[in-house]
Amino acid sequence: MTDKNRVIIFDTTLRDGEQSPGASMTLEEKIRVADALEELGVDVIEAGFAIASNGDFEAVNEIAKRLKNTSVCSLARASRKDIDRAWEALRPAVRPRIHTFISTSPLHMRAKLQMTPEEVLEAIADSVSYARNLCEDVEWSCEDGTRTEPDFLYKAVEIAIKAGATTINVPDTVGYTTPEEYKVMIQNIIKNVPNSDKAIFSTHCHNDLGLAVANSIAAVQGGARQIECTINGIGERAGNAALEEIVMAFRTRNDMLPYTTGVVTENITRTSHLVSSVTGLAVQNNKAIVGANAFAHESGIHQDGMLKDAGTYEIMTPESVGLKKSSLVMGKHSGRHAFREKLKDLGYELADNEFMRAFTEFKDLADRKKTVYDEDIISIVDDNLRDNDRMKITGWKFVCEKGKANSAELELEIDGETKTVFSEGNGPVDAAFKALRSLVGGEPHLQLYQVHAVTRGTDAQAEVTVRLEEDGKTVNGHAAHTDTLVASAKAYVNALNKLLVKREKTAPEEMSA
């Protein structure tokens, strides 16, 4: 293995990932994800789009101050104002990177930017050189690159490199390309752009046709040495290329894909759990690498094979992605040590204060429930990871009695102050949601209310998902509790907290570039 096969992993979970419908993270949650990504060993973290909102600016700035090894990047359109804001946020970083972009496809230039190709080329030269005067490390992206005329693309890339771009990213913005086409496109750019040896080429693939990972790998085979990707593949529409799938493909099929990354694959599972719980975006059970069934074997023939030799049906070990097989059965007699071991087996490593909070809740649950299953523990930890919410439910009273009006009275802590809300409704869940809605004003519409039992048994915890929509923005809230009504109210509050974050995110000011 030589250094020329080392692929830079650029994680955009906090930027493109956060643009997923339903996802939003508080500042504390973003910091937690950034810390986890640094421990995971990614090379670059795109921490946000600094000009998009004060929240984005603050997140980029806090992450820039905090990270020791990883490059921190902010997105910026091809405007000096965007670039100034990105640089202001990034300035404290040990390794800052400005990522500026503009569309280059005929359709985007005409319909979206309403600029001529010549104007776009001028904007590239101006924005990249302006960014490069501020920061040594400048990435330039040609949005909708895969639908750009080849000759225009070569010209644009040449200008960007000449203006000082050190990384050239060719996004498949709409998830349209195919592996062979994309590989040849990257090869042709490298071949036809006279100064291509002065930059690293990068891929950024969306998953509209389910090809994002295959396309990213093909681009690397064509000469790209940076992959932009996200944890769990979250991102705009169908998402981005999934980091864990790319990295494990390189590790597992190194005979065919002789590339390396700096990712510590044993941290994959816990990073995936963290991202899923803070964004509210559940991972599908059959998702490669990190889905609940990725290492599960149910058919008798497979189980028999596995008992004889795990290699019969497993091409990688669960341990290699940080999933340990565990036989620890947890109950009310389990102590701190066993709980910590169990958390490790499940892929969690909590700070001391988080551990104590989770342990107290585990003991509380174990008093109410005979056997505490792994799924119960996962939902306790996930609930705790959401503990930075501005609003928290601290008390409740539900009335559901024949002949009486159904009602809910809820006590909340909001920014440190206690408040009580009450409403009657068509059933206690409706009453609770009405009471809670009065706290935030506006018109959040309930799009989904879903309850499922975390485990078997009538004492199982209910896990509730609530999806709210307001002005085209959606958020997901989750919570679990042995009482379905409490879980419902908590999930609704979790969604409202996310809505408050979304409301702060105003669209960046209109511009023509």
Contacts to ligand KIV by CB under 6 A: 16, 101, 141, 143, 171, 173, 204, 206
Contacts of 82 (CB under 8 A, 6+ apart): 50, 51, 76, 100, 508, 511
Token readout for 171 is 């996004």
CB closer to ligand KIV out of 46 and 383: 46
**How many CA atoms within 13 Å lie on the side-chain side of 81?**
8
Residue 192 · residue 154 · CB < 8 Å: yes
CB closer to ligand KIV out of 171 and 280: 171
Residue 63 · residue 30 · CB < 8 Å: yes
**Residues 341, 394: Cα–Cα separation, whole Å:** 30
Contacts of 502 (CB under 8 A, 6+ apart): 24, 470, 473, 475
The one of Zn ion, ligand KIV, none whose footprint includes residue 384, by CB under 5 to 8 A per kind, is none
Binding segment for Zn ion (CB under 5 A), chosen from 16-24, 341-349, 369-377, 378-386, is: 16-24
The dihedral sign for the CA sequence 303, 308, 310, 311: negative
CB of 14 to Zn ion, least distance (A): 13
CB closer to ligand KIV out of 132 and 369: 132
CB of 177 to ligand KIV, least distance (A): 12
The one of Zn ion, ligand KIV, none whose footprint includes residue 141, by CB under 5 to 8 A per kind, is ligand KIV
CB closer to ligand KIV out of 80 and 336: 80
The one of ligand KIV, Zn ion, none whose footprint includes residue 342, by CB under 5 to 8 A per kind, is none
Token readout for 497 is 């907290």
The one of ligand KIV, Zn ion, none whose footprint includes residue 467, by CB under 5 to 8 A per kind, is none
CB of 30 to Zn ion, least distance (A): 18
CB closer to ligand KIV out of 102 and 289: 102
CA dist list (Å): 17 to 208, 243, 272, 381: 15, 12, 12, 22
The one of Zn ion, ligand KIV, none whose footprint includes residue 101, by CB under 5 to 8 A per kind, is ligand KIV
Residue 124 · residue 157 · CB < 8 Å: no
CB of 173 to ligand KIV, least distance (A): 3
CB of 507 to ligand KIV, least distance (A): 15
16 binds Zn ion (CB under 5 A): yes
Residue 179: other Cβ atoms inside 10 A: 18
Q: C-alpha angle 277/315/454, rounded to 5°? A: 30
CB closer to ligand KIV out of 83 and 432: 83
CB of 345 to ligand KIV, least distance (A): 36
Strands 406-414, 391-399: pairing is antiparallel
**Residues 17, 232: Cα–Cα separation, whole Å:** 9
The dihedral sign for the CA sequence 331, 336, 337, 340: positive
Strand partners for 446? 468
CB of 141 to Zn ion, least distance (A): 9
Residue with tokens 């930059």: 199
CB closer to Zn ion out of 141 and 406: 141
Residue 46: closest CA among 3, 107, 118, 101: 101
CB closer to ligand KIV out of 87 and 101: 101
CB closer to ligand KIV out of 167 and 271: 167
The length of the chain in residues reads 513
**Residues 438, 415: Cα–Cα separation, whole Å:** 16
Cα of first residue to Cα of last residue in the chain, in angstroms, is 42
Residue 67 · residue 107 · CB < 8 Å: no
46 binds Zn ion (CB under 5 A): no
CB closer to ligand KIV out of 206 and 478: 206
11 binds Zn ion (CB under 5 A): no
CB closer to ligand KIV out of 43 and 389: 43
CB closer to ligand KIV out of 62 and 143: 143
CB of 321 to Zn ion, least distance (A): 25
CB of 103 to ligand KIV, least distance (A): 8
Give helix then strand counts, H and E, for the chain: 16, 14
CB of 204 to ligand KIV, least distance (A): 5
| SS3 category, 472 | coil
Q: In what order do the strands lie in the sheet with 462-470?
A: 445-453, 462-470, 473-481
CA dist list (Å): 421 to 103, 397, 407, 418, 441: 49, 11, 11, 10, 13
The one of ligand KIV, Zn ion, none whose footprint includes residue 143, by CB under 5 to 8 A per kind, is ligand KIV
Tell me which residues touch Zn ion (CB under 5 A): 16
